[in-house]
Amino acid sequence: MGILDSKIPSGPLADKWTKHKNEINLVNPANKRNIDVIVVGTGLAGGAAAATLAELGYNVKTFCYQDSPRRAHSIAAQGGINAAKNYQGDGDSFYRLFYDTIKGGDYRSREGNVYRLAEESANIIDQCVAQGVPFAREYGGLLDNRSFGGVLVSRTFYAKGQTGQQLLLGAYAAMNRQINRGKIQSYNRHEMMDLVLVDGKARGIIARDLVSGEIQRHSAHAVVLATGGYGNVFFLSTNAMGSNVMAAWRAHKKGAFFANPCYTQIHPTCIPVSGEHQSKLTLMSESLRNDGRIWVPKRMEDAVAIREGKLKPTQLAEEDRDYYLERRYPAFGNLVPRDVASRAAKERCDAGFGVNKTGEAVYLDFAAAIERYGREKALTSGLKDPSKETVTKLGEEVIEAKYGNLFQMYEKIVDENPYKTPMMIYPAVHYTMGGVWVDYNLQTTIPGCYCAGEANFSDHGANRLGASALMQGLADGYFVLPYTIGDYLADDIRTGAIPTDSPEFEAAENEVRSRLEKLMSGTGIHSVDYYHKKLGKIMWNKCGMSRNAKELEEAIKEIAELRKDFWENVKIPGAADSKNQELEKAGRVADFLELGELFAKDALHRNESCGGHFREEYQTEEGEALRDDKNFKYVAAWEYKGEPKDAVLHKEELVYENIELKTRSYK
Partner 1 sequence: MKLTLKIWRQKDAASKGQIVDYILDGVEGDMSFLEMLDILNEELVSKGEEPVEFDHDCREGICGTCSLQINGEPHGPDRLITTCQLHMRKFKDGDTIVIEPFRAKAFPVIKDLIVDRSAFDRIQQAGGYISVNTSGNTVDANAIPIRKEDADKAMDAATCIGCGACVAACKNASAMLFTSAKVSQFALLPQGQVEAAERVENMVRQMDLEGFGNCTNTGACEIECPKGISLENIARMNREYLSASIKG
> Which among 338, 547, 627, 664 is annotated as catalytic?
338
- Contact flag: residue 18 with partner 1 (CB under 8 A): no
Element (H, E) at 552: helix 549-569
479 DSSP assignment: I
355 three-class SS: coil
Complex with partner 1: residue 83 or 151, whichever CB lies closer: 83
- Contact flag: residue 227 with partner 1 (CB under 8 A): no
- HSE, CB side, 13 Å, CA atoms: give it for residue 218: 30
Complex with partner 1: residue 144 or 371, whichever CB lies closer: 144
- Contact flag: residue 188 with partner 1 (CB under 8 A): yes
- Contact flag: residue 234 with partner 1 (CB under 8 A): no
Q: Phi, psi (5° rounding) for residue 647?
A: -55, 145
| Burial of 438 from C-beta contacts in 10 A (0-12 / 13-18 / 19+) | buried
Interaction residues for partner 1, span 455-514 (CB under 8 A): 478-479
10 three-class SS: coil
Instruction: Candidates 10, 22, 89, 130: give the one binding partner 1 (CB under 8 A).
Output: 130
In single-letter form, the type of residue at position 243 comes to S
Distance, in Å, from the CA atom of 420 to the CA atom of 22, rounded to the nearest integer, reads 58
Complex with partner 1: residue 115 or 618, whichever CB lies closer: 115
Interaction residues for partner 1, span 395-424 (CB under 8 A): 408-409, 412-413, 415
- Contact flag: residue 152 with partner 1 (CB under 8 A): no
3-state helix, strand, coil in the chain (%, to 5): 45, 15, 40
- Contact flag: residue 428 with partner 1 (CB under 8 A): no
Least distance in angstroms from the C-beta of 27 to partner 1: 15
Least distance in angstroms from the C-beta of 214 to partner 1: 13
Least distance in angstroms from the C-beta of 12 to partner 1: 22
Which spans in 78-207 are helix H? Answer: 94-104, 111-130, 163-180
110 counts as catalytic: no
- Contact flag: residue 134 with partner 1 (CB under 8 A): yes
Instruction: Candidates 525, 621, 622, 660: give the one binding partner 1 (CB under 8 A).
Output: 525
Residue spans of beta strands (DSSP E) within 161-242: 184-187, 190-198, 201-209, 215-219, 222-225
- Contact flag: residue 283 with partner 1 (CB under 8 A): yes
Least distance in angstroms from the C-beta of 433 to partner 1: 21
Interaction residues for partner 1, span 334-393 (CB under 8 A): none
Angle at 325 between CA 335 and CA 625, to 5 degrees: 90
Least distance in angstroms from the C-beta of 131 to partner 1: 5
Packing angle, helices 581-605 and 549-569, rounded to 10: 160
Instruction: Candidates 62, 86, 165, 609: give the one binding partner 1 (CB under 8 A).
Output: 165
The answer to whether 65 and 587 have CB atoms below 8 angstroms apart is: no
Instruction: Candidates 176, 421, 502, 569: give the one binding partner 1 (CB under 8 A).
Output: 176
- Contact flag: residue 211 with partner 1 (CB under 8 A): yes
Interaction residues for partner 1, span 37-56 (CB under 8 A): 48, 51-52, 55
Distance, in Å, from the CA atom of 428 to the CA atom of 120, rounded to the nearest integer, reads 30
Choose the stretch contacting partner 1; rule: CB under 8 A; options: 72-80, 451-459, 541-549, 630-638: 72-80
The answer to whether 148 and 287 have CB atoms below 8 angstroms apart is: yes
The answer to whether 388 and 370 have CB atoms below 8 angstroms apart is: no
Distance, in Å, from the CA atom of 605 to the CA atom of 12, rounded to the nearest integer, reads 33
In single-letter form, the type of residue at position 73 comes to H
Complex with partner 1: residue 268 or 337, whichever CB lies closer: 268
Distance, in Å, from the CA atom of 119 to the CA atom of 96, rounded to the nearest integer, reads 11
Distance, in Å, from the CA atom of 145 to the CA atom of 156, rounded to the nearest integer, reads 5
Choose the stretch contacting partner 1; rule: CB under 8 A; options: 105-113, 270-278, 289-297, 304-312: 270-278
- Contact flag: residue 173 with partner 1 (CB under 8 A): yes
Distance, in Å, from the CA atom of 209 to the CA atom of 550, rounded to the nearest integer, reads 43
Q: Contact letters (x/-) for partner 1, 578-597, by CB under 8 A?
A: xx-xx---------------
Q: Phi, psi (5° rounding) for residue 186?
A: -105, 125
Least distance in angstroms from the C-beta of 416 to partner 1: 12
Instruction: Candidates 28, 68, 315, 620: give the one binding partner 1 (CB under 8 A).
Output: 68
Distance, in Å, from the CA atom of 185 to the CA atom of 192, rounded to the nearest integer, reads 15
Instruction: Candidates 140, 382, 503, 642: give the one binding partner 1 (CB under 8 A).
Output: 140
Q: Contact letters (x/-) for partner 1, 538-577, by CB under 8 A?
A: ---------------------------------x-xx---
Least distance in angstroms from the C-beta of 356 to partner 1: 12
Angle at 611 between CA 608 and CA 617, to 5 degrees: 30
Instruction: Candidates 35, 84, 174, 259: give the one binding partner 1 (CB under 8 A).
Output: 174
Choose the stretch contacting partner 1; rule: CB under 8 A; options: 60-68, 96-104, 310-318, 332-340: 60-68
Q: Please list the active-site residues.
A: 338
